[in-house]
Amino acid sequence: MLLPEADLKAVLQAALQQGGDFAEIFLERRRTTSISCEENKIERVTSGLDQGAGIRVIAGESTAYGYSNDLSRESLIETAILVGKAVQSQPGPREINFTRPRSRVEFTIKKRPDRVPVEEKVELVRRVNDAARAVDRRITQVSVGYGDIIQEVTIANSDGILVDDERVRCRLVVNAVATDGKHIQTGYESAGGHQGWELFENVNPEEMARLAARRAVMMLEARPAPAGKMPVVMAGEAGGTMIHEACGHGLEADLVQKQLSVYAGKKGQKVAADIVTVIDDATIPGKYGSYSFDDEGTPGQKTVLIENGVLKEYMYDYLTARKEGRRSTGNGRRESYQDRPIPRMTNTYIAPGKDDAAAILRDTKYGLLVKRMGGGQVNTTNGDFVFDVAEGYLIQDGQIGPAVRGATLTGNGPEVLRIIDRVAGDLGFGLGICGKDGQGVPVGDAQPTIRIPELVVGGILDEGAKE
Amino acid sequence: MDYQEMEKKYLDLAGQVVEKAAKRGALAEAYITAGEELSIEVRDQQVEVLTTARDQGLGLRVICDHRVGFAFTTDFSPAALDACIEQALANARQATADEHNCLPARYPGYPSLDLWDPEITATPLEKKIELAKEIERQARAYDPRVKITESCSYNDSRYLVALANSRGITAAYHAANCGASTFVVAVENGESQTGFGLAYGLKFKNIDPARVGREGASKAVRMLGAKRVNTQRAAVVFDPYVATNFLGVIAPALTADAVQKGKSLFRGRVGQQVAAPVINLIDDGRRPDGIASSPFDGEGVPTGHTVLIEKGVLQCFLHNTYTAARDGVSSTGNGARGSFKTTPEVGTTNFYIEAGSRSPEEIIKEIPRGLYVTEVMGMHTANPISGDFSVGATGIWIEKGELTTPVRGVAIAGNIIGLLEAIDAVANDLTFFGAIGAPTIRIASMTISG
């Protein structure tokens, strides 16, 4: 616990004495280790301590927020008074009785990263570097990054919620560069989770390195992606960037309430093909977007967003839920004590269907097979999205054809969800840092193999070709 | 906060930490930042969120036997600072020795820059709130179809940097900056389109709410009724914002760090033509009103004015102390720190394409058929190492030299090098978006996928 209960109460009361009908304090102590290796050298070993507190006061539709690194009682009360004054309203409730909500899940960390000697972490990074370099002579550069975070939080609010939580995450990324004198290409792999050092029992770090290196080498020989509309098959192992962009962001309640989402006002309506079910689930053990409690002290939960094509639910935080007089779905997240919480995804995925991945490919005469997705972006207002294809192949007569590089897929979220015509059962997870309003949070995403009958592939036309 | 007073206090603290670490046989450098921030978000003429903040942090870099160790802390208690020193020293033992790891020695002086506009601090909160509200009023007044405010905000920050190292550098400065931005939505016949306007700089008086509001509104309204176009090759014009998006991808390739690691497209090409002759590309750490301007970089090296590409010919790369030592040259003052939490890497400061002489209208007038691109999506997926990019684009179709109908949902793809070579006109409207600036530029021909 980062502050005694009596002090938490005093801070909240100091804020509400100035004004507001809700006050909250979020205290955080974040200890991090990171190691980077490039040019066969361990370049950086960094450790850090970042601690601070964010105080939020809400009065009606107005929010005031303040933060500081100073966790002394006096300084926190000073910040609380400043923040309370800023909402410019009548003093709020005085009586606060704390209760501790129970989490729906118990995540056990088998081996905390702060119990692993730094030598062992450095050794892992070296092994990964060596494995990637051993793949091919054309691998000219490898960078490996390891990071772990132990984030302790204490969250208390004037509704009486009091939560202590500890989030432990490890992550490993490897980036390989291949050069053949003419081209430079790269391959990337990452693994991470709400897990301790046991992450590296669940994934094989050397195998990850080899995958990244092989992809870089393969891309040297890939041809430029075609341009124009075509059917696209996305493999289960491709990751879930598409569903995250095409659908997930538009189901965040803040965007919906501001009429900034194409899904606004569509609860209960058909927004996708019958075979499409979309779920956001913070409770899956060990995934990168998993947690016991969100950053407002609400237990993480599993929320069915779209069921058999029908829009069922949006993702809410405290403030957006309060505006509709309902409960939060436990999606209130923030990057750190420096940020106010907003509705965010956790682990978002298209639920597995009954189709067979091999059959989907076999039945597709021509198109693009996406074996690995890269990053993406969406304009939630009109639903247009793009995402990058990190590994893609042409499909020729139902077979995997030559590799292509440099493809981006462009589409419209609602349109794509309606036309998805095949969904297989092979769910595979990806992970990333999702950015929104300048805040980055860890998320997971996934989908089984699916087919979209028509997407725009942004490639290159032959120099000679016109129209 | 009294920043003069705080500078002294934090320089003392940095000096003490350096001294302690140096006693343990290390070269040491302590970098402290501390500051305050204000952000006001307005919607429907109400203050939706008001944020005030104070923060501080110290990053300690040590070099022992040519090995670098780093640790940071936001807790300045003696125990936390001692722990930070121990961590940095322990981390150094794990790193690989490299003879080029070093710290810069003391400099005779630093440029004197105007980085502190007293008006930013002196302006009362109410007036700043009023400024944010005025942006929204201007956006709504521009056109009745502007119906939704996604965000409308004013923010400013005041901060100081204090740096000390065991080779005699003790230097500090304080600075302030401010900005305003809005994202608004225009609605017509069930269709919604967004537009944004923004202004950032070092001077409060340069933030013009009317310009920001009207810019956001006009960008949203002009996209209403946007349609796809067929896949084809045609001329493409990037507005300054889109051009800066592409510059952001090129920036890492111009650092000596990327070159030395074999990750730069420009490796081995100094003295060669890498872009069209109309391109001059500059990094200027001292630019007046530049949001990234400072007297010294993240290692205490004076900032500079570096011409990277002149008339399309690559001149040199950007350096910090390490990359310069490795190449036997001097640092260009580009030892950049994201924050006190990171070691100084090589990074750009105020980075821009120099303005040409003709107006944007003139260079559009010469195009029989093409796309004026006003927004790209997924720029962060471009590969700065290979230079390959493929991004979603929206804009306005050009027919016989005139802007005609809005276009969305298309993609443009290519390679950065090919793009730089294909630029055939640069306009005179250099505009900065944060620390990156560009004028309108024209590319003779590109694939547009629709």
Residue pair B232/B363 in contact (Cβ under 8 Å)? The answer is: no
Yes or no, beta carbons of B409 and A374 under 8 Å apart: no
Q: Is A461–B447 a contact, with Cβ atoms under 8 angstroms apart? A: yes
Structure tokens belonging to residue A113: 């990263």
Asked if B343's CB is within 8 angstroms of A46's CB, the reply is yes
What is the total residue count of chain B?
Answer: 450
Which residues in A60-183 belong to E strands, given as ranges? 62-68, 139-157, 162-179
Task: Report how many helices (DSSP H) and strands (DSSP E) chain A contains, helices first.
Answer: 10, 22
State the CB neighbour count (10 A cutoff) for residue B67: 21
Interface-testing mutation among B383, B407, B415, with chain A (most A C-beta atoms within 10 A)? B383
The residue type at A345: M
Q: CB distance B408–A382 less than 8 Å?
A: yes
**Summary mean pLDDT of chain A:** 93
- Candidates B390, B391, B448: best to mutate against A (most CBs of A within 10 A) is B390
pLDDT beyond 70 at A22: yes
Which residues of chain A are within 8 Å of residue B380 when distances are taken between CB atoms? 375, 377
* Contact: B74, A407; criterion CB under 8 Å: no
pLDDT tens digits, residue range B290-327?
A: 999 999 999 999 999 999 999 999 999 999 999 999 99
For chain A, how big is the Rg over CA atoms in Å? 24
A75 alpha carbon, distance to own chain's centre: 33
pLDDT given for residue A461 in this prediction: 62
Q: What is the 3-state secondary structure (H, E, C) of B81-119?
A: HHHHHHHHHHHHHHCCCCCCCCCCCCCCCCCCCCCCCHH
pLDDT at A467 over 70: no
> What's the half-sphere exposure (Cβ side, CA atoms, 13 Å) at A149?
21
Instruction: For residue B83, list chain A residues with Cβ-Cβ distance below 8 A.
Output: 49
Nearest CA in chain A to B86: A47
Give the phi and the psi of residue A191 in degrees, each rounded to 5: -140, 145
In this complex, which of A70, A377, A405 lies closest to B378 when CB atoms are compared?
Answer: A377
Smallest Cβ distance to B378: which of A227, A262, A408? A408
Q: Are strands B27-43 and A41-59 parallel, antiparallel or unpaired?
A: unpaired
Residues of chain B with Cβ-Cβ distance to A252 below 8 Å are none
A106 Cα to chain B: minimum distance (Å): 31
Q: Name the minimum distance, in Å, from the CA of B31 to any CA of chain A.
A: 14
Closest-CA distance, A135 to chain B, in angstroms, reads 18
Report, as an integer, the average pLDDT of A25-31: 97
- Running DSSP on this structure, what letter comes out for residue B135? H
Which residue out of A87, A89, A119, A386 would a mutagenesis test of the B interface target, given it has the greatest number of B Cβ atoms within 10 Å? A386
pLDDT grade for A408, boundaries at 50, 70 and 90:
confident
In chain A, residues with a C-beta closer than 8 Å to the C-beta of B377 are 377-379, 384-386, 410
Contact in structure between B449 and A227 (CB atoms under 8 Å)? yes
CATH of B3-220, one of 2.60.40.1170, 1.10.8.80, 3.40.50.300, 3.30.2290.10: 3.30.2290.10
Percentage of chain A with pLDDT > 70?
Answer: 98
Considering Cα of A81, then A83, then A87, then A91, what sign does the dihedral take?
negative
Question: Chain A closest CA to B12's CA: distance in Å?
Answer: 20
- Tell me: the pLDDT tens digits for B14-28? 999 999 999 999 999
CA dist., res. A20 & res. A42, Å (int): 51
Contact (CB<8Å) B261/A179: no
Question: Rounded to whole angstroms, how far apart are CA atoms A30 and A147?
Answer: 13
Range list of H helices, B24-59 = none
pLDDT tens, position by position, B385-417? 888 888 999 999 999 999 999 999 899 988 898
Out of B57, B95, B377, name the one closest to residue A386 (CB): B377
Q: In the beta sheet, which residues pair with residue A313?
A: none
pLDDT band at B179 (very low <50, low <70, confident <90, very high): very high
Tell me what the mean pLDDT of segment A410-435 comes to: 92
Distance (Å) from the alpha carbon of A258 to chain B's nearest alpha carbon:
7
Tell me: the pLDDT tens digits for B135-147? 999 999 999 999 9
| Rounded CA separation A63/A21 (Å) | 10
Residue A430: pLDDT band by 50, 70, 90 thresholds? confident
Sign of torsion over alpha carbons A312, A314, A318, A323 = negative
Closest CA–CA distance from residue B343 to any residue of chain A (Å): 8
Shortest alpha-carbon distance between residue B88 and chain A (Å): 7
For residues A391 and A403, is the Cβ–Cβ distance under 8 A? yes
pLDDT at residue A463 in the model: 42
Tell me the CA distances in angstroms from B84 to A112, B58, B90, B164, one per residue in order.
21, 9, 10, 16
Structure tokens belonging to residue B184? 């608004």
Q: Inter-chain contact A386–B381, Cβ cutoff 8 Å?
A: yes
pLDDT higher for A410 or B257? B257
B377 pairs with which residues across the strands?
B392
DSSP, collapsed to helix, strand or coil, labels residue A257 as helix
Report the alpha-carbon distance of residue A138 to residue A66 in Å, rounded. Answer: 52
- What is the per-residue burial (b if ≥16 Cβ within 10 Å, else e) of B169-185? bbbbbbbbbbbbbbbbb
Sign of CA dihedral A346, A352, A358, A364: negative
Alpha helices by DSSP H, listed for B357-450, are 360-365, 416-422
β-pair partners for B70: A46, B61
Residue type, A243: I
Q: A186–B383: do the CB atoms touch at under 8 Å?
A: yes
Under an 8 A CB cutoff, do A50 and B57 touch?
A: yes
The type of residue at B336 is: A
A166 pairs with which residues across the strands?
A152
pLDDT of residue B359: 98
Q: What does the pLDDT look like over A68-114, one tens digit per residue? A: 999 999 999 999 999 999 988 888 777 899 999 999 888 899 999 99
Cβ contacts from A onto B, under 8 A: 248
The candidate with the shortest Cα–Cα distance to A71, out of A93, A99, A49, A46, is: A49
CB-count exposure of residue B164 (10 Å: 0-12, 13-18, 19+)? buried
φ and ψ at B151, to 5 degrees?
-160, 150
Token digits of residue B16: 């003490």
B245 within 8 A of B426, measured Cβ to Cβ: no
Cα A346 from Cα A280, distance rounded (Å): 6
For residue A11, give the nearest of A158, A154, A159 by alpha carbon: A158
When pLDDT is averaged across residues A451-459 and rounded to a whole number, the result is 90
Nearest CA distance, B330 vs chain A (angstrom) = 21
For the cut 70, the answer to whether the pLDDT of residue A462 exceeds it is no
For residue B109, the distance in angstroms to the closest alpha carbon of chain A comes to 30
CA dist A405 and A409 (Å) reads 12
Query: How would you classify residue B448: left for phi > 0, otherwise alpha for psi between -120 and 50, otherwise beta?
Result: beta
Question: Which tokens hold the place of A171?
Answer: 């992550």
DSSP result, A205-235: HHHHHHHHHHHHHHHHHPEEPP-EEEEEEE-
The percentage of residues in chain B with a pLDDT greater than 70, rounded to a whole number, is: 100
Q: Which residues of A touch B262 (CB under 8 A)?
A: 140-141, 177, 179
pLDDT value at position B241? 97
Facing A43 at nearest CB: one of B95, B262, B387: B95
- In this predicted structure, the answer to whether residue B252 has a pLDDT above a threshold of 70 is yes
Q: Which of B339, B330, B260 is nearest to B302 (CA)?
A: B330
CA angle in degrees (0–180, nearest 5) for A39-A44-A49: 160
Integer Cα distance of B334 and A326 in angstroms: 51
Query: Where along chain B do its domains lie?
Result: 3-220, 226-450
Cα–Cα distance between A139 and A175 in angstroms, integer?
A: 11
CB contact under 8 A, A410 and B411: yes
> What radius of gyration do chain B's Cα atoms show?
24
Contacts of B383 in chain A (CB under 8 A): 186
- In tens, the pLDDT along B60-100 reads 999 999 999 999 999 999 999 999 999 999 999 999 999 99
> Looking at residues B185-194, what average pLDDT do you find?
93
The first and second tokens of residue B314, run together, are: 């690559």
Instruction: Nearest by CB to B449, from A35, A185, A456: name it.
Output: A456
d(CA B169, CA B331): 15
> How far away is chain A from the Cα of B262, in angstroms, using its nearest Cα?
7
Hey, of B73, B129, B269, B388, which one would you mutate to test binding to chain A, going by the most A CBs within 10 A of its CB? B388
DSSP letter, residue A250: G
Q: What is the pLDDT of residue A91?
A: 86
Rounded to whole angstroms, the Cα distance separating B380 from B178 reads: 25
CB A379 within 8 A of CB B219: no
Nearest CA in chain A to B47: A62
Instruction: Quote the pLDDT of residue A465.
Output: 35
Residue of A nearest to B51 (CA): A65
DSSP A248: I
Using the beta-carbon criterion (under 8 Å), do B74 and A51 form an inter-chain contact?
yes
